[in-house]
């Protein structure tokens, strides 16, 4: 998936590098061109272990609330108190009252450098929504502390920038600390989503979903869930302007993709109940959605509901018989279920003292006892009849 949307602007639709994107652990349904990947999040990797959770708890908390200021030393403000994100005002702004608020749309000029001074990128009039995770954490956390018109220098550790994976666009090496030159140009209230034209609402929802995809690829699954949640709120909002049936279907399509992608992220976080709920919601709109069925089968299996999981995967396979991924997952699950049942049966036999052997031993005895009883009864009857006959003969002679 193209990570070029790292600063919040959606990648141009025409941009195509020819790369392909696969699911981690080979669970992709098909090889997709980069242009097609944005249509939906690639199917998830093995979600059982919840690996790759590199979201920093301190950073996440600070993103939700105004950072607690730890004091200024030599003009540098330690934003989080861990010396990993610092801000220094180069030119004063219009005062504290002019600081942007969470949920507002802001516009900045930005220059990004590596710590050795190498220019990474320069962006003019970069727009994003405060607190929505549209940009790297370093910007989301520091711009809200800037005054209108202020120019500031920000130094950030890699964990609040592009992390251990780095970035291809812009080109940032793994684990790279950055120096950011930021100028706050304006802050305006976000438009009322209910008053947006349907096309604008669709575009906004897609942009938030694509940002979630960037977070997902970087392993920031909690931030991915946040972006998908925002996109869902946009698709589910009522509209005070006329909307055509075609536009409603397009919004619904974006909604289902967000639910699918959210389920993938929730699986990564081991939030199985939430992932199951997302799958159920997606299937309520598209009952034959292959990816929702596949992920639902995965969730049920992880919860130990093997029978339901097998039924769900069989339904998915019936819809797409040639899908090797579903074949493999279903075969693995059936085998695991069979082994579990065999282990349970062995345990029951051990608990009951091997009842099959005792019952087989008791059956011949029963038959033997039954045979003896018949023989005794037949002999007694014969003796009785003989006795009656002898009495008749003796009486006749007398």
H/E segment holding residue 156: strand 151-156
Q: What is the DSSP string of 165-217?
A: G-BTTTTB-TT--EEEEEEEEEEEPPPPGGGS-HHHHHHHHHHHHHHHHHHHH
**31 SS3 class:** coil
Q: pLDDT band at 13, cuts 50/70/90?
A: very low
pLDDT in tens, 42-62: 343 333 333 444 444 444 444
Which residues 6+ apart lie within 8 Å of 224 measured at CB? 212, 213, 215, 216, 261, 262, 265
Cα 7 to Cα 229: distance, rounded to the nearest angstrom = 19
pLDDT in tens, 54-113: 444 444 444 444 444 446 778 899 999 999 999 999 999 999 999 999 999 999 999 999
Question: What pLDDT was estimated at residue 31?
Answer: 28
10 Å CB burial of residue 91 (0-12, 13-18, 19+) is: exposed
| CB contact at 8 A, 286 and 316 | no
pLDDT in tens, 152-205: 999 999 999 999 999 988 999 999 999 999 999 999 999 999 999 999 999 999
Question: What pLDDT was estimated at residue 377?
Answer: 53
Q: Which of 265, 298, 259, 304 is nearest to 279 (CA)?
A: 259
Token pair of 203 as six digits: 């575009």
Q: How many CB atoms lie within 10 A of CB 31?
A: 11
Question: What pLDDT was estimated at residue 375?
Answer: 55
Cα 300 to Cα 136: distance, rounded to the nearest angstrom = 34
- Using CA of residue 51, residue 55, residue 61, residue 65, what is the dihedral sign? negative
Is the previous residue joined to 248 through a cis bond, with omega within 30 degrees of 0?
no
The residue whose two tokens read 């549209």 is 134
Question: Do strands 76-78 and 119-129 pair parallel, antiparallel, or not at all (unpaired)?
Answer: unpaired
In this prediction, what percent of the chain has a pLDDT beyond 70?
68
Instruction: Give the chain's length.
Output: 398
pTM: 0.70
H/E segment holding residue 294: helix 290-302
Does residue 362 carry a pLDDT above 60?
no
Domain covering 68-190 in this structure, CATH number: 3.10.50.40
Cα 83 to Cα 396: distance, rounded to the nearest angstrom = 130
């Amino acid at each position: 998936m193209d990570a070029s949307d790292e600063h919040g602007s959606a990648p141009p639709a025409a941009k195509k590098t020819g790369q392909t994107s696969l699911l981690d652990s080979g669970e992709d349904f098909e090889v997709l061109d980069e242009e097609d990947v944005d249509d939906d999040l690639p199917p998830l990797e093995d979600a059982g272990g919840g690996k790759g959770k590199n979201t920093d708890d301190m950073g996440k908390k600070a993103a939700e609330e105004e950072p607690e200021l730890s004091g200024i030393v030599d003009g540098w403000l330690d934003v989080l108190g861990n010396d990993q994100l610092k801000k220094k005002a180069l030119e004063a702004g219009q005062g504290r009252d002019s600081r942007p608020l969470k949920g507002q749309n802001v516009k900045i000029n930005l220059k990004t450098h590596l710590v050795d001074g190498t220019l990474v990128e320069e962006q003019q009039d970069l727009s994003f929504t405060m607190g929505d995770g549209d940009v790297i954490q370093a910007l989301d956390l520091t711009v809200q502390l800037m005054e209108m018109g202020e120019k500031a220098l920000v130094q950030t550790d890699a964990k609040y920038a592009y992390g251990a994976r780095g970035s291809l666009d812009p080109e940032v090496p793994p684990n790279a600390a950055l120096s950011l030159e930021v100028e706050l140009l304006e802050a305006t209230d976000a438009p009322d989503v209910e008053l947006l034209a349907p096309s604008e609402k669709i575009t906004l929802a897609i942009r938030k979903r694509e940002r979630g995809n960037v977070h997902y690829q970087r392993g920031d699954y909690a931030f991915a869930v946040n972006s998908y949640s925002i996109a869902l709120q946009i698709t589910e909002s009522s509209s005070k302007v006329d909307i055509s049936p075609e536009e409603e279907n397009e919004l619904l399509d974006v909604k289902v993709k967000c639910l699918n992608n959210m389920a993938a992220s929730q699986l990564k976080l081991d939030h199985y109940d939430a992932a199951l709920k997302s799958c159920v919601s997606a299937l309520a709109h598209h009952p034959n959605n292959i990816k929702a069925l596949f992920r639902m089968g995965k969730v049920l299996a992880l919860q130990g509901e093997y029978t339901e999981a097998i039924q769900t995967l069989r339904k998915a396979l019936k819809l797409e018989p040639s899908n090797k991924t579903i074949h493999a997952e279903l075969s693995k699950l059936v085998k695991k279920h069979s082994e579990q049942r065999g282990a349970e049966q062995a345990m029951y036999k051990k608990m009951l003292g091997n009842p099959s052997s005792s019952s087989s031993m008791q059956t011949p005895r029963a038959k033997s006892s039954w045979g003896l009883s018949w023989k005794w009864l037949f002999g007694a009857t014969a003796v009785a009849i003989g006795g009656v006959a002898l009495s008749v003969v003796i009486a006749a002679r007398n």
